[in-house]
A and B are shown apart, each in its own frame.
Chain A
Amino acid sequence: MSLPLTPVSVTVDDGHLAQVETVAQALRDSGMQVERVLGSLGVITGRAPAGARPSLLAVEGVTSVDEQLRFSLPPPDAPVQ
């Protein structure tokens, strides 16, 4: 369990929007550390071992598993923001 964890965003399909919590539990059972269950959007965010993507994708109700993007602004004194 000392594998490095990667931030991931899991998108729930339209048919499971009402069962987001159930999907989240299944993701936990598949090794994901769930941080946020976003009910309005049907997206679950958290961390997962690098090799866990196939097992997370196999969870019923999951349509996409993506590594989280990181967004960075220029420093406050930059002329173009």
Chain B
Amino acid sequence: MIDPPARRGPGPRPPVRTTGRQVVVFADRDDVRVDWSAAGVTDVADSRDFPAERVPAQTLREAGATVFARLGIAVVAAGPDQVGALRAAAPPVLSVSPELVHRVLPEDLTGYVRGYRDGVADLAGRVLGAGGGDGAAAPPLFQDTAAATWGVQAVRATTSPWTGSGIRVAVLDTGLDLAHPDFAGRAVTAESFVPGEAAQDGHGHGTHCVGTACGPQSPPTGPRYGVASGAEVFVGKVLGDEGSGDDGGILAGIDWAVANGCAVISMSLGADVAEAHPPYSAAGRRALQQGSLIVAAAGNNADRENGELGFVGAPANSVEILAVGALDPALTVAWFSARSLSAPGGEVDVAAPGVDVLSTWPMPDRYHTISGTSMATPHVAGVAALWAEATGRRGYELWATLTQAAQRLTEPSVDVGSGLVLAPQEGAGGG
């Protein structure tokens, strides 16, 4: 699924130049008073000894070593033969690397011209393709297999060693089919915030979303469709069996999830209003401060085949709530997936599989395949739970981790934000 490296333009890349000095990174930046006499280095300058910690250029050139205390980094005049002695220095050293010469990036006119040509070709394809119908859609990169849905493959849940174990994930929706065989034996806490209705799902939407976020690693029948198979499930029914609900129940569900320490709160719901709704902004911010990340569907109000790009609705258009767009199996933006608003908070933050998504449905159907940013959102919630387990991060840190680790796409950022969320892989927990 990763394209081969693109050509970098004519000719070989220029060689990397070094200065002959070494850059030493200390494991702990708190106390880096070092003695490098064993490595033959004397005359150590320390940024703390200069006014405003500004080390003069002349000192940098002439000192045997310059320590940048705030960074826990030193630049040392030492040849390759002294690297071993530098590594052995106390306090513990994380790395020793040759100092590189950096330069202003050269202007590459051929790259500009090539980009211009590609842009014109793309525009021609879109304009002519829209009219004539011969604009072939991108071939799918993923497909459902007997082992796993395309969605859990695309977010790399299938190769992640993490399951969301020990992490509480809340799905605020139409409830869950509590007798569904795929959730037999799972820790499920269910609560209804809809007056007069139990948490049992009488619609199907909630059962589908819970399945994607937290479905089992090996379902009794059919392919794997769930991301965080080891997570503890909190089902908050905030939409009634007929599919609707209002702030009162939804905010009560968020409050309940935060009070129960859910690291992730998944909300596949939205209203087509173009302004952030203040109660959700406050709720999102206070949830983050208490270690709960809210992810919400960007909305399905686009009709891209007819030129309607839509906009991110509430609650996803609050700054403090992570908005999720939908991708198809070619990792192009889904035709219904809403575009970012220009107002702050109205951005699509990340994207996830949301077209032809198979997941659980109330019995006796058992499974159902549907599309929507509602289906993309629980993929992100599940991936967030895996990162929460792998790194221990919560709140804003977890948000940053999700966007940092997302796979960048060639689709516009107004549609997919930082790109496709990806699950942590082996080794991701360290550091």
* A positions within 8 Å CB-CB of B: 7, 9-12, 17, 35-36, 38-43, 45-46, 63-64, 66, 68-76, 78-81
Contacts and interface: CB of A to CB of B under 8 A. Distances in A.
B406 interface: no
Nearest to B315: A69
A64 B251 CA distance: 15
Question: Which residue, A42, A66, A69, has most C-beta atoms of chain B within 10 A?
Answer: A69
Interface stretch (B25-33, B129-137, B154-162, B366-374): B366-374
A66 B375 CA distance: 29
Interface centre among A11, A75, A80 (most CB of B within 10 A): A80
A68 B248 contact: yes
Contacts, number: 116
Given A41-B251, A71-B245, A71-B250, A76 B204 contact: yes
B300 interface: yes
A35 B277 CA distance: 19
Interface string B182-214: 000000000000000000000111001000000
B251 A9 contact: yes
B203 A73 contact: yes
Interface of B: 174, 203-205, 208, 239, 243-248, 250-252, 254-255, 258-259, 268-271, 273, 277-279, 282-283, 286-287, 290, 300, 314, 336, 370-372, 374-375
Given A41-B286, A81-B374, A68 B247 contact: yes
Nearest to A47: B248
B156 to A, nearest CB: 24
B205 A43 contact: no
A41 B283 contact: yes
Contacts of B371: 79-81
Given A41-B255, A41-B287, A66-B279, A72 B248 contact: no
Contacts of A35: 248
B244 A38 contact: no
Contacts of B314: 69
Nearest to A39: B255
Contact of A7 (B247, B271, B278): B247
B252 A66 contact: no
A68 B255 contact: no
A73 B194 CA distance: 15
A78 to B, nearest CB: 8
Given A11-B282, A41-B286, A81 B244 contact: no
Nearest to A8: B247
Given A36-B252, A38-B252, A69-B277, A80 B205 contact: no
